[in-house]
Structure 1
Amino acid sequence: MSKLDTMDFAILGYLQENGKRSYTEIAKLLDVSEGTIRTRINRMLKENVFEFVIHTNPNKVGLNVQAIIGISTKLGSQEKIADQLNQYSEVRFVGAFSGRHDLIIQAYFKNNEDLVHFVNKELAKMDGIISADVNIELKQYKDSFSYVQEKNA
């Protein structure tokens, strides 16, 4: 993978502000050709620096309950459990962590009943889970996928 330079970071910054921004507009903002922007974006896409995604507001699509669930697993079961969790559409994130829990997941549900079903039926049937610590989001203060600060080349 090639190293990102200030222009790459500037391009990423402009795309994070508005993912529908045209290559021509970014080129004007950075005082370079549209071809330069296109080439750099295509390279960064090919090298998996970023991807274009639609970030949906869960509440607007009927997913009103967000849970962060810490899962403790039997030794040797972590990867198997993570693979099983990946199959659930409700689960948005699965990560292995050091500390109190072996896995932490973020999941969205229509209502509390769906969350209870997921914990008591789906998680309960997974061999290798020792315990699940369920935390429900009460209020959200920030939800961002913006990691790039610099946008001036």
Structure 2
Amino acid sequence: MPELDALDEKIFGLLAENGRMPNLEVAARVGVSEKTVRQRVRRLIERAGMRVVATMDREAPPSRLIVLARAKPGQRFVVADRLASMPQVDEVHLATGAYELIVLASFDSDSDALDFYVRHVEQGPGIEESHSTHVVETVTRGTATRPDHFEQFDKQASGVAGMAELLDLACDVATASLGADRVHVATGYAGPVDPTRSSWPSTMRWRGLSSRYVEEIRVKGQAEGVVLPNIVKHNQHVFVADAQTDPLFRSVTDLVLSEGFHSWLGMPVCSGDTRRGTLCLYWNTVITYREDLIRQAKELADTLGRHLPRYSSEPSDASTAPG
């Protein structure tokens, strides 16, 4: 494979994260023209063997069971074949150690899993001893957030020179670690003007969003206070599975349609018990609510919130220039 230069590597990295990213957006992120990106992508495909592939997120079965079993002498292969032939069983592994069989099985409910375990494992022929455990969550290379991302963000945030640089860093981490196609982070009060509230520097940074979108959201948020009601009023996150059809975005439907995103997640950024801003993540496709995603977004928002007080004396940045 031919050696990739720095620009090729940046383009490849963006497409590896999101193979559906438009050339225009790639160009904006790497700082070249759309024509250059188009030519580079074609060259990567034709000469470097790059492939842009599609994957499908499959919903995990409601109940999954792992069984460790020790077979009676001379029965391990018989037991393995019996269990592997059952429709509930996904995999049977022959292993060394105290338990010779590892069985992975999926069920429509926990009661089905219990019935299977009692009838076919505890009371099943050829099994001398067994233990079972339920699978709560599966972390794969494709779904895992590298554990050093937020630790690294925490370290880097300690050394930034100002609020804008801190928010830029948060935007980079959000796209790299949380898989968001776009991100917007803002400090200050995102609601109707209230003279009784204490002053706090207002700064916004974003990735992948148009300046028109950001400006209209800012104006509507100040005028109506309806776009982020739970975040603004109750410090609760809001998840929208399809922003192009959800009533929450009725007042900005045309804007959302023109921007092209479908899924949206808003998260309060707090210093202690006080909300100091919002972190908003956008996806080009419809994604489902996942507790792990919410947990990771909350961790990023909390880490950002811990660093904000250092810049509370900065003047507001009215330009809100994107990173």
Aligned to 2:293: none
Q: Which amino acid aligns with 2:46?
A: S
Matches within 5 A, 1:53-132: 56-58=58-60, 63-124=61-122, 126-132=124-130
Q: Which residue, out of 128, 139, 143, partners 1:143?
A: 139
* Cα deviations by residue, 1:35-76 (Å, 9 ceiling, x for unpaired): x679xxxxxxxxxxxxxx966222xxxx32211110110122
* Cα deviations by residue, 1:64-93 (Å, 9 ceiling, x for unpaired): 221111011012211111111111222112
Identity %: 20
**What is the number of equivalent residue pairs in this alignment?**
115
Aligned to 2:44: 31
Cα RMSD, aligned residues only: 4.0
Q: Which amino acid aligns with 1:143?
A: V
What stretches of structure 2 of length at least 5 have no aligned partner?
3-15, 21-39, 143-323
What stretches of structure 1 of length at least 5 have no aligned partner?
7-15, 21-26, 39-52, 147-153
Q: Separation in 2 of the partners of 1:55 and 1:88? A: 25
Higher RCO, Cα 8 Å, sep 6+: 1
Query: CA 1:134–1:29 in 2, change beyond 3 Å: closer, same or farther?
Result: farther
The answer to whether the Cα contact below 8 Å between 2:122 and 2:130 also exists between their aligned partners in 1 is: no
Q: Which amino acid aligns with 1:107?
A: A
SS of residue in 2 equivalent to 1:89: coil
**Aligned-pair CA distance for 1:19:** 9.6
Q: Separation in 1 of the partners of 2:69 and 2:92? A: 10
SS of residue in 1 equivalent to 2:113: helix
Q: Separation in 2 of the partners of 1:19 and 1:85? A: 40
Aligned to 1:44: none
TM-score (norm 2): 0.29
TM-score (norm 1): 0.54
SS of residue in 1 equivalent to 2:131: strand
